[in-house]
């Protein structure tokens, strides 16, 4: 789905704390909206361009990992505000999945929410949005046709006829991985998607998928993996190097370590829910020296720790982080990671400090 912005009326420059950002004011007969201009990058060898930072919608509607196991109108309004604030800040790339959210305990599917937010925004103005969603490689989905069937269900929930990026959420581990890749190729050829990618793929699986699609003249645009300052496994297992070699964009999920790198949590105030079992008081105690240094670096740029660690990822090149935004405040924070860059010395200093911390456990299939 690619929807164009219309009615450009005038432009201006505005000074924001931490740097000068160009702002375009878009005017039409019915609405006048101020929106930041955010640089876009191509996803791999595809023709698809997305903003250098996207927004993850994992938490939208979720009642199993996020939101304290409940979903209500207040959280719904906060998620809608996160969407609108992201658009206002020029961030137009949103990542969701068919397995995000659920129709239980009052929750709704993340795709349904994203589609609703887009439609409501479109009623006010024409706006360009790039949607990425994912296919769940479940055991009973055996053939290439299952990919197309699931994609069409996702399109129905989103309320669109096509999406920009369709990804395999995790590799098929029941002997059907090749069929899934064939399904991605079919989706491109049928015009249902602009680009295709994978997620949680190891170096070997990444090369296999790349080669299989290449035979059909279709580029593998992306590999979405867990990647942050304190989870640098993609640098160690060959995934980042392979992405760079083959021209595949690395999309980084959990780029702020699910909040652990923001400075919000301390040994005395760990996160609630399932995250509390990962980012324990003991782990957070070991993390404090790094968080303190991140805060100090950020002060030099008048940036927050969140903005520093996201900028660190963007500085790795060929990386598009997709932090999850649950509210407008978080979305505003994320936009502030763009338009500036850490020095090489700062980048390496933070990497060195982070290397002293043992990473948390990642998604098991990324090693297969």
Of 192, 188, 172, give the one whose Cα is nearest residue 180. Answer: 172
Give the tokens for residue 122: 């479109």
CA distance 175 to 216: 21
- Report the half-sphere exposure of 230 (CA within 13 A, side-chain side): 25
DSSP line for 255-299: TTGGGTTTT--BTTBPPPTTHHHHS-HHHHHHHHHHHHHHHHHHH
Query: Could you confirm whether 100 is annotated as catalytic?
Result: yes
Order of all β-strands in the sheet with 55-56:
55-56, 93-95, 130-135, 163-168, 193-199, 220-226, 249-253, 319-321
Active-site hit among 65, 100, 231, 279: 100
Are the C-beta atoms of 354 and 94 separated by less than 8 Å? no
Phi, psi at 352, each rounded to 5°: -65, -45
> Which residue bears the tokens 């129905």?
156
Of 147, 118, 123, give the one whose Cα is nearest residue 134. Answer: 147
Q: What is the CA radius of gyration of the chain?
A: 20
CA distance 208 to 221: 14
CA distance 84 to 364: 34
CA distance 87 to 179: 36
Of 342, 335, 341, give the one whose Cα is nearest residue 55. Answer: 335
Catalytic positions, please? 100
């Amino acid at each position: 789905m690619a929807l164009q912005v219309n009615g450009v009326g005038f432009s201006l420059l505005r000074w924001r704390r931490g740097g000068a950002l160009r702002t375009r004011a878009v005017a039409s007969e019915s609405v006048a909206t101020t929106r930041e201009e955010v640089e876009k990058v191509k996803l791999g060898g595809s023709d698809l361009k997305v903003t250098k930072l996207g927004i993850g919608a994992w938490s939208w509607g979720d009642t199993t990992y996020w939101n304290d196991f409940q979903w209500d109108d207040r959280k719904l309004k906060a998620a809608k505000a996160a969407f609108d604030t992201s658009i206002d800040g020029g961030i137009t790339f949103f990542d969701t999945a068919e397995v995000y959210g659920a129709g239980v305990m009052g929750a709704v599917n993340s795709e349904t929410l994203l589609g609703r937010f887009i439609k409501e925004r479109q009623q006010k103005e024409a706006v360009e949005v790039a949607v990425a969603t994912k296919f769940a490689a479940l055991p009973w989905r055996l053939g290439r046709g299952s990919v197309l069937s699931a994609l069409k269900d996702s399109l129905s929930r989103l309320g669109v006829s096509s999406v920009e990026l369709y990804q395999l959420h995790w590799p098929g581990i029941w002997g059907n991985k090749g069929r899934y890749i064939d399904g991605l190729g079919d989706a491109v050829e049928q015009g249902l998607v602009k680009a295709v990618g994978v997620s949680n793929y190891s170096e070997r699986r990444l090369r296999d998928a790349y080669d299989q699609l290449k035979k059909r003249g279709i580029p593998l645009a992306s590999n979405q993996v867990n990647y942050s300052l304190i989870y640098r496994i993609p640098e160690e297992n060959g995934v980042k190097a392979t992405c760079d070699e083959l021209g595949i964009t690395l999309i980084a999920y959990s780029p702020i370590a699910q909040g652990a790198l923001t400075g919000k949590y301390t040994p005395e105030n760990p996160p609630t829910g399932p995250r509390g079992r990962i980012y324990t008081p003991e782990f957070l105690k070991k993390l404090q020296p790094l968080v303190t240094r991140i805060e100090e670096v950020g002060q030099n740029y008048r940036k927050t720790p969140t903005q520093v660690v996201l900028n660190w990822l963007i500085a790795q090149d060929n990386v598009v982080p997709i932090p999850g935004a649950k509210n407008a405040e978080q979305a505003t924070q994320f936009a502030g990671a763009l338009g500036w860059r850490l020095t090489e010395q700062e980048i390496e200093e933070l990497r060195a400090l982070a290397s002293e911390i043992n990473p948390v456990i990642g998604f098991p299939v990324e090693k297969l």
